[in-house]
């Protein structure tokens, strides 16, 4: 039982707010992005600054409370919240500071990518992130970060230069390649296992206007298009990233009416860098010739517009069920299975994506960061998504059946940010492979009692 006097003292001592059951804002505050998650925390601490975060970590530790840390709240299995424990919600900590001389940007732990893109774009730069701008910088970065710029500029963690972290014992430390380098190694892929990151320091890249967008093809051409994509993308210029997708065309503008609700396949392309707009048309001549798309939205587009292109479709509160894998090779047999299951996408929001992770991301050594799968070519994700909770079983069984069919053709591990929390410790160990032992040792140094365990958990060594 938590003593209310202690709660009141904690409340009085921080600049942010502490919300508990019965408060008017509690029902709204406990929601996360995935509508399938229905957790009831004992306390939600909306921290306003680093001092609040240290106070909240100390409070959870000294009162033996389960502790969850929430960046953008997007995590599939809802690892930014918990039942009966304390949630450190960072959504008030959204400061973004560009240093043009150094070519860097510092973002506080509660930023979404929209917050960062808004500032960096004003100066002609971007940080490699994901494909939806409402996703949190915190969770996406700590898990790795795969998106439109991966082949040209690496994973998000490959652009991380440092971070400020509140540790389990309440200490605030700065970490980088030269300060607490073991911690810096671990947070680049090891998730929220090591502390609360109150700010991230990123290198900015010269990405402002892309030549980008979706190209969709009729589903009866799916096998040919996927085989062509498989062979093309690994040899394409690195500034060209494109993820393959099976999807259902939404029934509204800007899509032509004859395609509404049709299951299609396609690629969402992004050609980036200082010469993207000038060189885009010639780069895409070959692609257009090969794909013969039924819908072609590729053209010049500002980076923040590309990043937020799908935000309106994927609004908060939908039901989400995630399954994932890493892929080294896509055999013809695997292509046939993709076509079989991808043709049965069950709802307008459900989809399968194959994200290329070669190029700049693939050149980083397997042990340079905690992110082990540097030799894989794709990160595959199958997401069953729908607004209606009544469709939950349908979207889950589609995602599981699809994954069960493809998994024998994939690597043992998967990207931690694309998994639910139902896959067990062995799967986490397979994901980190030879890096797991070192991660467990770093965990034992910085969080020996596993205070930070609401995550894809790495157990402290020993």
Ligand X SMILES: Cc1cc2nc3c(=O)[nH]c(=O)nc-3n(C[C@H](O)[C@H](O)[C@H](O)COP(=O)(O)OP(=O)(O)OC[C@H]3O[C@@H](n4cnc5c(N)ncnc54)[C@H](O)[C@@H]3O)c2cc1C
Q: Which region, judged by CB under 6 A, interacts with ligand X, from 129-137, 173-181, 279-287, 392-400?
A: 129-137
SS3 44: strand
Q: Indicate whether 54 belongs to the interface with ligand X (CB under 6 A).
A: no
Minimum Å gap between C-beta 143 and ligand X is: 5
Shortest distance (Å) from residue 192 CB to ligand X: 3
Does residue 188 bind ligand X (CB under 6 A)? no
309 lines the binding site for ligand X (CB under 6 A): no
Shortest distance in whole angstroms from residue 25 CB to ligand X? 18
Stretch that binds ligand X, among 141-149, 220-228, 272-280, 288-296 (CB under 6 A): 141-149
Instruction: Kindly tell me which of 118 and 227 has the beta carbon lying closer to ligand X.
Output: 118
The Cα–Cα gap between 440 and 172 comes to 21
Q: What are the Cα distances from residue 457, in Å, to 25, 173, 305, 381, 426?
A: 30, 22, 35, 20, 11
State which H helix or E strand residue 58 sits in: helix 50-62
Query: Which runs of consecutive H residues, i.e. helices, occur in 112-189?
Result: 113-121, 137-143, 150-153, 181-187
Total number of residues that touch ligand X (CB under 6 A): 35
The helix or strand, by DSSP H or E, that contains position 323, with its residue range, turns out to be strand 319-327
Element (H, E) at 443: helix 436-446
CA distance 158 to 152: 11
Question: Residue 211 contacts by C-beta under 8 Å, 6 or more apart in sequence?
Answer: 269, 271, 276, 277, 279, 280, 281, 283, 284, 298, 299, 300, 301
Stretch that binds ligand X, among 67-75, 207-215, 387-395, 439-447 (CB under 6 A): 67-75
Q: Which two tokens stand for residue 298?
A: 């590729």
Q: Report the residue number, 208 or 308, with the smaller CB distance to ligand X.
A: 308
Residue 183 CB, nearest distance to ligand X (Å)?
A: 12
Please say which residue, 75 or 435, places its beta carbon nearer to ligand X.
75
Helix axes 276-291, 222-233, angle to 10 degrees: 140
Pick from 305, 350, 356: nearest CA to 326: 356
- Per-residue binding letters, 244-283, with ligand X (x by CB under 6 A): ----------------------------------------
First to last CA, the chain: 30
Q: Helix (H, G, I), strand (E, B), or coil: what is residue 248?
A: strand
Site stretch for ligand X (CB under 6 A), options 134-142, 225-233, 299-307, 387-395: 134-142
Q: Which residues 25-44 are close enough to bind ligand X by CB under 6 A?
A: 33
CA dihedral (375, 377, 382, 387) positive or negative: positive
Nearest approach in angstroms of CB 318 to ligand X is: 9
Contact set for ligand X, span 193-232 (CB under 6 A): 196-197
The SS3 of residue 348 is coil
Q: Say whether residue 128 binds ligand X (CB under 6 A).
A: no
Using rule CB under 6 A, residue 109 touches ligand X:
yes
384 interacts with ligand X by CB under 6 A: no
Burial of 325 by CB count in 10 Å (0-12 exposed, 13-18 middle, 19+ buried)?
buried
**According to the binding rule CB under 6 A, does residue 72 interact with ligand X?**
yes
User: Among residue numbers 144 through 173, which ones bind ligand X (CB under 6 A)?
Assistant: 145-147
Q: Is 80 in the site for ligand X (CB under 6 A)?
A: yes
Q: Which of 14, 36, 53, 79 binds ligand X (CB under 6 A)?
A: 79
Dihedral over Cα of 37, 43, 46, 49: its sign: negative
Nearer of residues 180 and 417 to ligand X, judged by Cβ: 417
Distance CA 313, CA 372 (A): 32
- When binding is defined by CB under 6 A, the residue of 35, 41, 76, 293 that contacts ligand X is 76
192 binds ligand X per the rule CB under 6 A:
yes
349 binds ligand X (CB under 6 A): no
Residue with tokens 């100066």: 123
Beta strands in 101-191 (DSSP E): 104-108, 160-166, 172-176
Supply 74's token pair. 């997007």
Q: Whole-number minimum distance, CB 282 to ligand X, in Å? A: 27
Is 47 a binder of ligand X (CB under 6 A)?
A: no
Which range, of 9-17, 94-102, 192-200, 214-222, touches ligand X by CB under 6 A? 192-200
Using alpha carbons, select from 205, 207, 206, 225 the residue that is nearest to residue 215. 225
Cβ atoms of 269 and 287 closer than 8 Å: yes
Q: Residue 104 CB, nearest distance to ligand X (Å)?
A: 18
Query: Binding mask 406-435 vs ligand X (x if CB under 6 A, - otherwise)?
Result: -----------x------------------
| Shorter beta-carbon distance to ligand X: residue 90 or 334 | 90
* Nearest 10 degrees: Cα torsion 409, 398, 417, 31: -170
Residues that bind ligand X (CB under 6 A): 33, 68-76, 79-80, 90, 109, 130-132, 135-136, 138-140, 142-143, 145-147, 191-192, 196-197, 314, 417, 454-455
């Amino acid at each position: 039982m938590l003593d209310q006097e202690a709660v009141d003292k904690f409340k009085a001592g921080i600049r942010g707010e502490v919300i508990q059951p019965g408060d008017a804002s509690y029902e709204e505050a406990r929601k996360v992005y995935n509508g399938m998650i229905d957790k009831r925390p004992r306390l939600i601490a909306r921290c306003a600054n680093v001092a609040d975060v240290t106070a909240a970590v100390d409070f959870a530790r000294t009162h033996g409370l389960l502790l969850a840390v929430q960046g953008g709240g997007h995590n599939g299995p809802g690892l930014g919240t918990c039942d009966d424990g304390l949630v450190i919600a960072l959504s008030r900590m959204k400061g973004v500071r560009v240093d043009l001389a150094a070519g860097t940007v510092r973002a506080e732990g509660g930023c979404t990518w929209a917050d960062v893109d808004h500032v960096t774009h004003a100066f002609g730069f971007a940080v490699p992130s994901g494909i939806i701008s409402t996703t949190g910088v915190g969770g996406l970065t700590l898990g790795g970060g795969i998106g439109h710029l991966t082949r040209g500029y690496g994973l998000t963690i490959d652009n991380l230069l440092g971070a400020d972290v509140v540790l389990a014992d309440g200490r605030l430390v700065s970490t980088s390649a030269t300060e607490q380098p073991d911690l810096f190694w671990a947070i680049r892929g090891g998730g929220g296992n090591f502390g609360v990151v109150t700010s991230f320091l990123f290198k900015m890249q010269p990405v402002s206007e892309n030549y980008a967008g979706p190209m969709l093809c009729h589903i009866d051409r799916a096998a040919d298009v996927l085989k062509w994509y498989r062979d093309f993308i690994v040899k394409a210029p690195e500034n060209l990233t494109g993820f393959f997708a099976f999807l259902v065309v939404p029934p509204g503008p800007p899509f032509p009416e004859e395609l509404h609700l049709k299951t299609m396949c396609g690629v969402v392309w992004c050609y980036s860098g200082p010469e993207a707009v000038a060189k885009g048309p010639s780069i895409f001549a070959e692609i257009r010739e090969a794909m013969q798309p039924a819908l072609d939205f590729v053209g010049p587009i500002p980076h923040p517009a590309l990043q937020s292109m799908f935000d309106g479709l994927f609004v908060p509160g939908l039901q989400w069920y995630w399954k994932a894998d890493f892929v080294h090779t896509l055999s013809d047999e695997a292509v046939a299975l993709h076509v079989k299951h991808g043709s049965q996408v069950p709802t307008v929001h459900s989809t399968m994506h194959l994200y290329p992770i070669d190029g700049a991301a693939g050149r980083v050594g397997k042990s340079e960061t905690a992110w082990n799968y540097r030799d894989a070519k794709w990160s595959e994700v199958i997401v069953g998504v729908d607004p209606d909770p009544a469709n939950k079983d349908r979207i889950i069984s589609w995602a599981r059946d699809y994954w069960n069919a493809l998994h024998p053709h994939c690597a043992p591990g998967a990207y931690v940010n694309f998994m639910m929390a139902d896959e067990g410790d062995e799967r986490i160990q397979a994901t980190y492979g030879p890096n797991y032992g070192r991660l467990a040792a770093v965990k034992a140094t910085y969080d020996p009692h596993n205070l930070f365990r609401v995550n894809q958990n790495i157990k402290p060594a020993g």
